[in-house]
Amino acid sequence: MRVLVTGGAGYVGSHAAKLLAETGHDVLIVDNLSEGHRPAVSKLPFVSASLLEPERLIGAMQDHNTEAVMHFAAFAYVGVSVKDPAVYYHNNIVGSLTLLAAMRAVGVDRIVFSSSCATYGNPQRIPLTEDHPQNPISPYGYTKLVIERALADYSHAYGIGYAALRYFNASGAAADGTLGEDHDPETHLIPLILQVALGQREYVEVFGTDYPTPDGTCIRDYIHVDDLATAHVAALEKLQPGMQLKLNLGTGHGASVQEVIDLCREVTGRPINVHTVGRREGDPPQLVADASAAKFANAASEARLALGEIQMKSGERAAGRALLKSLEKDSSNAGFLVVAHKAAAALRFAPSRQ
């Protein structure tokens, strides 16, 4: 299939684009590189364009004979969205509507949308199922919900087929170290912890230790980025014009911030200094997915996990510690990403509370 990937030079987008290409799809990346990185997709066709440039979007789709869109391009920091909501409403909502208008102009009728568990807000029950009320508590979450509602209306009125994939906390990196998180500034927990282990920062901040959770820190469902990519490709291949899919992507179990820190200490064999600060506005105490509805999208991941669990139990943690020691002499980006992969992979097998 000929697939246009917006935000394809970003974290999740680049992993999905890599898998699309590896599974035989014809991929075109559209990204303005405000957050993404051209080297992440250096082997794929690329158009530098913003979501707010309709003529360029239409031209890219026409030149590529696009059949479907994967839409990752969005600003995604909850805290920043609270402080500066205007930027989020403009980019995430106006930009996405501009993309949908371009699709209609060209006749593209399938889209996989990168949505978020942030659309749920404070959970009424755990784990979260897709029919849980959606009451976001941050502008970021609300922008995702607005586009989900728009997609439902466009599907009904214009026959667009869509998959809104509400994923939980993306984590990890490609196992070979070719791709991973590269944010500036970095805000995601695992790379921040590993930066402390490598001596690149003094401590990791923990936002609140007084939540109603067993250890007082927030609980999140950490899904490996490779599994997210697998689910996106599976959803795309299932999607038909007029079809509506709304699916959670998670592991079904949660890990607290403190548990992630402890696990990274185990993986790396290093102390991780912690600095506790106040709660961050817009953070629910707990977000854990019921991802059973996305079973079709998780089949390949489950096969990989079965093998991965055996490997993890037989020495991944020791390998992580050894690799971290080597990084003291050569702190290469690839090596760092392999450690990040191992830490996130270990979370796949964390004991479930459910």
Contacts of 326 (CB under 8 A, 6+ apart): 335
Query: Can you tell me the distance from the alpha carbon of 58 to that of 66, in angstroms, rounded to the nearest whole number?
Result: 10
Q: Which of 11, 140, 142, 162 is catalytic?
A: 140
Beta strands in 24-157 (DSSP E): 26-31, 46-48, 68-71, 110-116
Query: Can you tell me the distance from the alpha carbon of 181 to that of 235, in angstroms, rounded to the nearest whole number?
Result: 23
How many other CB atoms sit within 10 Å of the CB of residue 343? Answer: 28
Find the Cα–Cα–Cα–Cα dihedral 83, 32, 184, 27, rounded to 10°. 120
Q: Give the β-pairing of 219-220 and 286-287.
A: parallel
The verdict on whether 11 is a catalytic residue reads: no
DSSP conformation letters of 50-83: -TT-HHHHHHHHHHHT--EEEE--S---HHHHHH
Structure tokens, 212: 């109603």
Write out the catalytic residue numbers.
Answer: 140
